[in-house]
A = this chain, B = another copy of it.
Amino acid sequence: MKTLKYSRQRESIKEFLTGRQDHPTADMVYTNIRRSYPNISLGTVYRNLSLLESLGEVRKISCGDGAERFDPNTEPHYHFMCRQCGCVQDIPMLPVGELETLASERFEGSIEGHTAMFYGVCGRCRETENGRRSMGKTLDKQSAM
């Protein structure tokens, strides 16, 4: 049998994720959880994140910048990624179901869902960009916290 046992590590990973809306990577989760659990290992973080994902309690999002990101919000919704700072945010709009209808019309497979990713410059970067231009490297990884 495959019963699920309690683990404070898993609990705190879930709790940490729930309190964030920046869609952290496994490594960001690890770095932060380490404050409360200095002995937790990266392996445990990965194991729990994928367990939580398969339980449907978190969702994984691939944004093509190397590491996967994790989202505590499992309701279908769209994302935005900033080409300047690389941050990932939620887009506060309802997914457009009609897209799937449109897609199905010309597609021979069955369509069960979809995701969307918007690109551009986030609000914070836009301010900076307006002030002083060309401040060196684009898309530098944001710090662990």
Chain A interface (Cβ < 8 Å from any Cβ of B): 60-64, 68, 78, 80, 82-83, 89, 91-93, 96, 99-100, 102-103, 105-123, 125-126
Q: A93-B106, A109-B126 known; A116 and B119 CB under 8 Å?
A: no
Minimum distance in angstroms from A18 CB to a CB of chain B: 22
Contact A92 B106 (CB under 8 A): yes
What is the copy number of this chain in the assembly?
2
What are 9 of the A-B contact pairs (CB < 8 Å)?
A: A62-B63, A64-B68, A80-B111, A89-B109, A103-B118, A109-B125, A115-B116, A115-B117, A115-B119
Contact B116 A110 (CB under 8 A): no
Contact A114 B108 (CB under 8 A): no
